[in-house]
Amino acid sequence: MTTWHDIGSVQEIPVQGARLVKSSQFGDVAIFRTVSNRVYALADKCPHRQGPLSVGIVHGEKVTCPLHNWTLDLASGSATGADQGCARVFPLKVEGERLMLGLPTDHA
Ligand code: FES
């Protein structure tokens, strides 16, 4: 089951940037906004060595980790190219101007 949380407006996220949402259960969640105004939510931990994806470089529908330059697909969280790994993806939806982050409520 998913509980939806109002985390602010889309405009609060810089284009080609990110902001952090803190979750006591799931840790830091990075909310990304692309140049085409799409938004994505990923755990703020690179699957390589837990680098902070929220300060990575957003390009197209991807983010490049600031530590060792892995590039992750924002929709799937998966590393691209030869790298293997996946950041956790959280559901995110836009209702009017508001961003709603979905966090599981039935996890163990
Ligand atoms: S921690 Fe992200 S590429 Fe190494």
Q: How many residues does the chain have?
A: 108
Q: Ligand 1 in contact with 79 (CB < 6 A)?
A: no
Q: Ligand 1 in contact with 74 (CB < 6 A)?
A: no
For 31-59, what is each residue's pLDDT tens digit?
999 999 999 999 999 999 999 999 999 99
Closest ligand 1 atom, residue 51 Cα = 1
Determine the Cα–Cα distance for residues 51 and 55; give it in Å rounded to an integer.
9
Q: Does the domain spanning 2-98 belong to CATH 3.10.20.600?
A: no
Q: Ligand 1 in contact with 92 (CB < 6 A)?
A: no
The answer to whether 77 touches 87, Cβ cutoff 8 Å, is yes
pTM of the model: 0.94
| Gap from CA of 95 to ligand 1 centroid (Å) | 33
